[in-house]
Amino acid sequence: MKTIVVGGVAGGASAAARLRRLDEKAEIILLERGGFISFANCGLPYYIGGRIVEQEALTLQTPESFKARFNVDVRIMSEAVSIDREKKLVAIKNHATGEEYQESYDRLILSPGAEPLRPPVGGEGSSRVFTLRNIPDTLKIKSFIAANKPKTAVVMGGGYIGVEMAENLREAGLEVTIVEMADHLIAPLDYDMACVLQQYMRMGGIKLLLKNGVKQITDTGSGLHVELTEGAVDCDLLILSVGVRPESGLAVAAGLEVNQRGAIVTDNKMATADNDIYAVGDAVEVVDFVTGSPAFIPLAGPANRQGRIAADNIAGLGSSYSGTQGTAVLKVFEMTVATTGLNEVAAQRAGIDYDKTYGFPASHASYYPGATNMGMKILWDKKTHRLIGAQIVGFDGVDKRMDVLATAIRFGAKVTDLVGLELCYAPPFGSAKDPVNLLGFVAENVITGKVKQFFWHDVPNLPTDGSVTLLDTRTKDEVAEMGAIPGFVNIPVDELRQNLDSLPKDKPVYVHCLSGQRSYIACRILTGNGYDCYNLAGGFKLYQAIKANEGAT
């Protein structure tokens, strides 16, 4: 059996290594048009920022080490330029020698990846405009910074790579501006959770121009003039980071099916319509695990698993890919941002009748030094109570909580199942009621009717004519230090029972505290005394973060 793998990195290299482990006698050829077959592409921004010091640390496998360990015929600087499906031949161009030749195959695995989008805004020939996809791109940016000592940078696009690049350019000493067309950074985050991140990034010195776009990039010789949809900005370098598209030209030319976005269509065995050709990684269409709909979710973890599954099926094993749920994590300075499953926009698009709630629990026991609060948000299907999405923004313990929630989604857990999870506890690591358990408690309280919620986006529409009671249950010191939501009367929760006579029972009561926990206690007190009470999910902390983003840059 002879298998040709087109493209290395996550999907292709994983497929070649897995296939060798399954079949010692197979003939395996790995083609890579660049000079690196397996590198840490997620680590590239951190080399530019100086967190990763040695360039060699980015290279996970060299052609020589891959050959030695897996006995794979690795051919770098070798590009597959066409496929003859009838004759089962791949035409290959050796970019080092200029030679063109053909190679036969029994099975073919396509792992071409995705390429950065380059919108038609100019700057194509400028040495100051960069994209970031591979090690050569990284070295260009690093060399430019070392040689030219730039002081200012614009990052066009506020997705994962754009935010990582902004952080690392800032770490390298540059003044950085992110220009993003949407109203918030990191599309998988909802607007409210992104506001927590954005507030922190501004504190770190990164300027954000949201709901704005780049119209034209002009190289002036001494720098770049960037004309925006609103205003303009000058800079010394610019990073294009507005997304990627599947690099599927080879598949299209071979007559393989692609979707409207250009992603290669496969079955759950990672096979294309041609049973002898498989496709994996960032170039393929996947199934959204939560909705079951076709999707394009380019991530390294899924690419690795897809490569493994393609190899399994070539070797005769019955592996299948069950879909991608979009679990991802991001570091921004000392903050961690993590997501999995659907956000509100995706849930609405899928037609799911969902509910949501928030929490700001401590990362570990609050009495043990170093505890920090994390902002957490979960979504669940109202009809089935199935957990469908989660977002966390915080500083410590974010990734492990998100891994728990991602696992719960993968195994079809209900949001109420979070209550029963037995998770690690010792004061340096967690609490007896873990933040994940607490989310389950809140959701269970909502589902069972123990509490009714209102949200930050409901606050501007609350009646101010006296027909409702607006109650702030924080301490007086908190109100004096942080300010208040207009119209809310302050009665600290510990003084509430003594002040019930001042609250009319014939009016609904809308209550908030800092995070939603004390105001829940207040709602239970009020409900137990005959009041109709509503609790602000996420509390004043979330409301304040959103207000801070209004008009901020």
Q: Return the active site residues.
A: 42
Please, are residues 108 and 90 in contact by the beta-carbon 8 Å criterion? yes
The total number of residues shown for the chain amounts to: 553
Q: What are the structure tokens assigned to 531, written together?
A: 């009041």
What does the angle CA 131 – CA 37 – CA 260 come to, to the nearest 5 degrees? 55
Measure the CA–CA gap between 8 and 78, rounded to whole angstroms. 11
Report CA-CA distances (Å) from 11 to 96, 109, 283, 300.
Answer: 24, 9, 10, 8
In the chain, count H helices and then E strands.
14, 32
CA atoms within 13 A on the CB side of 321: 31
What does the angle CA 393 – CA 190 – CA 199 come to, to the nearest 5 degrees? 50
Please, are residues 394 and 373 in contact by the beta-carbon 8 Å criterion? yes
Report CA-CA distances (Å) from 257 to 101, 107, 251, 293.
Answer: 26, 17, 8, 17
Residues 6+ apart with CB under 8 A from 192: 377, 456, 538, 542, 545, 546
Radius of gyration for the chain, computed over Cα atoms and rounded to the nearest angstrom: 27
Q: Looking at the DSSP assignment, which residues form a beta bridge with residue 114?
A: 246
**What is the phi-psi region of residue 221: left when phi exceeds 0, alpha when psi lies from -120 to 50, beta otherwise?**
left
Report CA-CA distances (Å) from 384 to 387, 413, 447.
Answer: 9, 10, 11
- Find, among 254, 195, 232, 225, the residue nearest to 551 by Cα: 195
Q: Looking at the DSSP assignment, which residues form a beta bridge with residue 533?
A: 509
Measure the CA–CA gap between 525 and 154, rounded to whole angstroms. 52
- Find, among 283, 291, 355, 351, the residue nearest to 325 by Cα: 291
Which of 40-51 are b and which e, b meaning 16 or more Cβ less than 10 Å from the residue's Cβ? bbeebbbbbbee
Measure the CA–CA gap between 459 and 436, rounded to whole angstroms. 27
Amino acid identity, residue 89?
A: L
What one-character-per-residue DSSP string does 375-423 give? Answer: EEEEEEETTT-BEEEEEEEESSSHHHHHHHHHHHHHTT-BGGGGGG---
DSSP H or E run through 306 = helix 300-314
Measure the CA–CA gap between 542 and 548, rounded to whole angstroms. 10
Q: What is the largest CA-CA distance in the chain?
A: 90
Measure the CA–CA gap between 228 and 217, rounded to whole angstroms. 9
